[in-house]
Chain A
Amino acid sequence: METSQMQKPLLGGKLSDESFITVFMVGVLIVVFGIACIFVPNFYKPQNMLNLITNNWYIIVLGIGITFVMITGNYDMSVGGNIALTGVLSVYFCQGVNVSQNPLANGLGLPYILAIGLALLCAMGVGAVNAFFIAKLKVPSIIVTLGTMMLARGAAQVITQGAQRNTSLPDAFGVLGSLGIPGTSIRLPVLVMIALIILAFIFEKKTVFARRIYLIGANPVAARLSGVNVGGYLTALYIVSGLLAGITGILLASEFEAGVSNRAMGYEFDALVIVLLGGISITGGFGSVLGMFVGAIILSVVTSAATGMLFSPDWQFTLKAIVTFIAILTQRFALDKRKG
């Protein structure tokens, strides 16, 4: 068979499909960014470019967990509610005991370190509940996590009586959210996000654990017959996704020095959007953390450009929708084209 007769895959066929999608989405990002630079004054400035990443640290942190969960072919919609619950709990645990007539000012009076430790355990507990229903009872993950999404937010609302807790906090409470590199917009949460992204990237490319996650998504039956403890891996992933939501919740609570019951509404959907923009397959077995990261920046460029172009905030959702559709369609088109 002569080589000349072969149809040459896009980009020479050297890249794996996964890298191809990531490179392709970087291309989309450059185009979107270019358009934003033309229409929005000062959009190209380094400070603005930095903000595009730093302002979205929480979605990216959540995206890491969601990426791996989705590579197994599952969803985690509980992260938004989990953020609210963990934030509220981190406040409640360390608020003073019987300091006020107002019940929302009274807490358990635990040391701050213990408070966040317990709050994180609760966040992982939400993940464990997800895992129990999904891995053990085989309930579809979308149903289970929609349930725990509401359960977590419901618990947060009970604890805050539908509002928030922000009084009688120890001094240490606001430190985590406000620490940062002086003179820049880079704060501790952003550094946490960067560290997690690097860890997740190495984890994904190098570890046996990650490889088994892909096996589960590619074919759960074959994975089990190949000796992969499917339930165990799903459990670990949901607990990690819960932990990431918990970390986010604690950092956000610290930044605002408040535990707010309706914090992070809709974050689960933003996280889902960036994961899809990143080319992660909803049927599992395919995708990467790097793709998700690029997806997050695309979404960030779109939302901040919209604000810069003086669109009314009412247009935010519509614009997000349009960009999501365009990006995902071009992605599918490019992948089909490449596969011939």
Chain B
Amino acid sequence: MQPTENVLEIRDLVKDFPGVRAVDNVSFDIKRNTVHCLVGENGAGKSTLIKILTGVYDRTSGRILLNGEEYNPRNPRDAKQQGMSTLFQELNVVDQLTVEENLTLGMEDTTFGFTRKTDKINRMVGVLNSIEPSIKPRQLVSSLSVAQKQIVEISRAVAAESDIIIMDEPTAAISESEIARLFNIIKGLREKNVTVIYISHRLDEIFELGDYVTVLRDGKHIETKPVAEIQDRSELIKMMIGKTVFEQYTPREIDCPDTILEVKHLSNHRLNDISFDVSAGEIVGFYGLVGAGKTELARAIYGADNYEGEIVFKGQKLRPSPEKAIAAGIALVPEERRSQGLFTILTIRGNVPVMNMAKISRKGFINDATERKVTSEYVDKLKIATNSVEKEASKLSGGNQQKVVLSKCLFADADLLMLDEPTRGIDVGAKSEIYNLIRQLSREGKTIIIFSSELPEVMNICDSIYLMYDGNLKSTMRNGCDVNSESILHIVTGGE
């Protein structure tokens, strides 16, 4: 293998889906032993490009050269063998197996079909150990947190010693301290003759990590240049969407005196005696690192999990069931949109009205025309990119899927809207659309609670910020000039 300057050369790459050209004549090079960032809005073609590189999709036309040679992976396994490892956004670990078994999955050494203990396992475990010593090789993966599962996957990719490791939003679900650790590993990879293709919506990460950046928009290649030559975030954002996005918290003019939600001494397996009030019309942000108990709190309020204590909404004690919560006027946008929020095999029309069937039916019979009409309204209102309300939800990009889930919850006509990680894995453009929507809903008198592990998100739009750590509510504060991110980070990492 002669060391060419470019580890990967992409030439005139095209990928068509029925009705959509997802990758449109893309050509660019990736230099050896660099961290090459790939950015673009949702639907820009990043995921499709990655799936072609990893052998999941066949290309429609075009050439790819890996180490100067034609690269045509037949399937993901083939791609891996040719030196292209991937860390996908959706977790790719087997819950029922141990950490050790997951690390060697698909690469086991066998004798007559029985797996053998070899040095490979020790090496893999060694890599894992250097990344996260607290994960034990014999632990079942199902007992790990989302962040820990991701670390197992990262270890697997690192241990495979590929030419290229593709990382699709590796930091979307892991905590700040783990991110710092991961970044150190990624930076170290450059010296180990590994090239990283890094995809992230967190632009700061690109400036911290990247050597080169390639911008895609609407399936087309916009630009590839060294990160050092890019002045700031807004230049990058301009390339991605062609317009500048401004995010700034403006303190609200009116006070909201009426209490709409009272949580009293809420406890369960992950929550520890949590009490707080929320005023009608307020935007409240719960901030904490992964594992702080934000999702568990959202689920408890919504009645999806059991709890001890009392939740009073609009003066009425809530009974713990999502059905009752929706009837009382609460809606939840869940943390994992594909597995908890969306009916992927149904159409957009099959998704949008499901939380408020009464509104599209009479005496239990659905009115098709009304259903179509309201779905179209939400497609327009939230700018869901689709040519038809009859499109299957699985065929939409991540951002548009999230908009479908949001539409679903908005259609429920709730007075209290809870959003768990509403912008995870979503590009800047769609993010600011969602923030504007949240502000507008708040102006219309809706109460919003956001559960987020992104501090800028909470600081940009929330009136009150509640900090969580390890199942406890540690601190509450009004957003404004006296709020500073350092003291917040101090609290959510366990400081007093």
A contact residues vs B (CB 8 Å cutoff): 1, 5-9, 13, 16, 206-209, 211-212, 214-215, 218-219, 221-229, 285-286, 340
CA distance A16 to B304 in the complex (A): 33
- Closest beta carbon of chain A to B265's beta carbon, Å: 25
Does B254 count as interface, using CB distance less than 8 angstroms?
A: no
Chain B: which residue is nearest A208 at the CB level? B357
- Interface membership of chain B positions 329-347, coded 1 if the CB is closer than 8 angstroms to chain A and 0 otherwise: 0001010000111111111
CA distance A139 to B355 in the complex (A): 27
A-B contact pairs, 18 of them (CB 8 A): A1-B20, A6-B16, A6-B19, A7-B18, A207-B364, A208-B366, A214-B346, A215-B354, A219-B339, A222-B341, A225-B332, A225-B341, A226-B354, A226-B355, A226-B408, A227-B325, A229-B323, A340-B18
Interface of B is mostly: mixed
Whether B332 lies near A7 (C-beta < 8 A) is: no
- Interface membership of chain B positions 60-82, coded 1 if the CB is closer than 8 angstroms to chain A and 0 otherwise: 00000000000000000000000
Chain B: which residue is nearest A340 at the CB level? B18
CA distance A57 to B364 in the complex (A): 28
Interface residues on B, range: 35 or more
CA distance A181 to B228 in the complex (A): 88
Residue of B18, B322, B344, B347 touching A225 (CB-CB under 8 A): B322
- Given that A214-B350, A215-B354, A340-B18 are contacting pairs, would A207 and B366 also be in contact in the complex, using a CB cutoff of 8 Å? yes
Chain A: which residue is nearest B323 at the CB level? A227
Whether B345 lies near A286 (C-beta < 8 A) is: yes
Whether B345 lies near A208 (C-beta < 8 A) is: no
Residues of A within 8 Å of B16, CB to CB, are 5-7
Residues 4-23 of B at the A interface (beta carbon under 8 Å)? 16-21
- Closest beta carbon of chain B to A129's beta carbon, Å: 24
Does B152 count as interface, using CB distance less than 8 angstroms?
A: no
A222-B341, A225-B340 known, 9 other contacts, Cβ within 8 Å: A207-B366, A208-B358, A218-B345, A222-B340, A223-B354, A225-B334, A227-B326, A227-B327, A228-B354
Residue of B340, B355, B364 touching A221 (CB-CB under 8 A): B340
Residue of A7, A13, A211 touching B357 (CB-CB under 8 A): A211
- Interface membership of chain B positions 299-326, coded 1 if the CB is closer than 8 angstroms to chain A and 0 otherwise: 0001010000000000000000111011
Whether A285 lies near B322 (C-beta < 8 A) is: no
CA distance A224 to B321 in the complex (A): 9
Residue of A207, A222, A225, A340 touching B17 (CB-CB under 8 A): A340
Residues of A within 8 Å of B332, CB to CB, are 225
Chain A: which residue is nearest B60 at the CB level? A5
Residue of A208, A211, A221, A227 touching B339 (CB-CB under 8 A): A221
Whether A218 lies near B346 (C-beta < 8 A) is: yes
Does B273 count as interface, using CB distance less than 8 angstroms?
A: no
